[in-house]
């Protein structure tokens, strides 16, 4: 069974540009989460989807971040325009019922 | 916001030694989780704790949910080179949505053969 997959694994962009991260959860998992780890700091919750609906987006930093999960399958997280402080590793996780989370390998985002 | 204090930040140990790390919080949690992250990978769940006082083992790993519900520790016995990685504690509190985990900053473990 395929795990949570994220694309790209690395992205280097300039300040002001737009970047879109993609997450494919484990098939059949209704719950999908986005987390972010800024270097040396804790992994922080961004938001939680149940199927295509946003269950909790209290961790989204600001309105430059937009997450979607059309059709309740894969999800995208767009940052527009990117700022220097957006650099970090963005993790996606999925779960069938919300208890045990399965994480992807993450997208390392560098904003220069 | 809520924070978890995880210590130590890093550890350099000799193969075969035991390891202990812990997390504390000013708030009560109803679930404590311990994850390990290998380089280039995402965190993988090692142990989940659901009741105050619970002591759970997974092979050479043992974790406990503190009685006060504000702390947890993870012990690794007889460390081996593949134990290298970053260990994160995470808590979920009452009222938090499922999956809204609060993570510690991680403990980076290095094991010298």
Contact B99 A42 (CB under 8 A): no
> With the CA atoms of A40, A101, A31 and A109 taken in that order, what torsion angle do they form, in degrees rounded to the nearest 10?
30
Cross-chain residue pair B100–A95, CB shorter than 8 Å:
no
Find, among A104, A110, A108, the residue nearest to A23 by Cα. Answer: A104
Q: Give the other-Cβ count within 10 Å of B76's Cβ.
A: 24
Rounded to the nearest angstrom, the gap between the alpha carbon of residue A36 and the centroid of all alpha carbons in its chain is: 7
Rg (CA), chain A: 13
Contacts of residue A4, Cβ cutoff 8 Å, sequence gap at least 6: A23, A24, A25, A26, A92, A93, A94, A102, A103, A104, B42
Distance from CA of B41 to the nearest CA of A (A): 4
Q: How far apart are CA B43 and CA A60, in angstroms?
A: 20
pLDDT reported for residue B42: 94
Tell me which chain A residues have a C-beta less than 8 angstroms from the C-beta of B45: 100-101
Tell me the chain B residues in contact with residue A44 when contact means C-beta distances shorter than 8 Å: 103
Residue A67 is encoded by which pair of tokens?
A: 């997450």
Burial environment of residue A27 by CB neighbours within 10 A (0 to 12, 13 to 18, 19 or more): exposed
Per-residue pLDDT at B95: 64
Peptide bond into A81 cis (omega under 30): yes
Count other Cβ atoms within 10 Å, centred on residue B67: 10
The pLDDT tens digits along chain A (112 residues) read 679 999 999 999 999 999 999 999 999 999 999 999 998 889 999 999 999 999 999 999 999 999 999 888 999 999 999 999 999 999 999 998 877 889 999 999 999 9
Optimal mutation site among A2, A3, A38, A42, interface B, most CBs of chain B within 10 A? A42
**pLDDT (tens place) for every residue of chain B, 113 residues total:** 678 999 999 999 999 999 999 999 988 898 999 999 998 899 999 999 999 999 999 999 999 999 999 999 999 999 999 999 999 999 987 665 666 889 999 999 999 98
The SS3 of residue A37 is strand
**Cα(B108)–Cα(B82) distance, rounded to whole angstroms?**
13
Residues A4/A93, Cβ–Cβ less than 8 Å? yes
Is residue A75 within 8 Å of residue A93, measured between CB atoms?
A: no
pLDDT digits (tens, 9 = 90+) for B18-30: 999 999 998 889 8
Q: How far apart are CA A50 and CA A98, in angstroms?
A: 9
| Minimum distance, in Å, between the CA of residue A84 and any CA atom of chain B | 21
Q: Please give the Cα distance from A56 to B97 (Å, whole number).
A: 7
Rg from Cα positions in chain B: 13
């Amino acid at each position: 069974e395929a795990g949570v997959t994220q694309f790209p694994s690395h992205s280097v962009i300039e300040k002001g540009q737009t970047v879109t991260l993609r997450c494919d959860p484990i098939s059949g998992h209704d719950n999908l989460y986005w987390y972010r780890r800024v270097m040396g700091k804790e992994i922080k919750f961004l938001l939680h989807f149940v199927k295509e609906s946003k269950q909790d987006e209290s961790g989204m930093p600001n309105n430059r971040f937009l997450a979607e999960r059309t059709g309740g399958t894969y999800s995208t997280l767009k940052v527009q325009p990117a700022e220097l402080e957006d650099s970090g590793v963005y993790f996606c996780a999925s779960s069938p019922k919300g208890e045990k989370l399965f994480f992807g390998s993450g997208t390392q985002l560098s904003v220069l | 916001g809520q924070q978890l204090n995880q210590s130590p930040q890093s550890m350099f140990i000799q193969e075969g030694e035991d390891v202990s790390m812990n997390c504390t919080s000013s708030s009560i949690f109803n679930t404590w989780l311990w994850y390990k992250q290998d380089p280039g990978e995402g965190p993988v769940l090692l142990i989940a704790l659901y009741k105050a006082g619970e002591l759970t083992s997974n092979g050479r790993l043992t974790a406990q949910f503190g009685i006060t519900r504000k702390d947890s520790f993870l012990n690794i016995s007889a460390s081996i080179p593949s134990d290298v990685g970053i260990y994160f504690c995470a808590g979920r509190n009452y009222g938090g949505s499922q999956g809204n985990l609060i993570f510690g900053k991680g403990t980076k473990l290095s094991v010298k053969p």
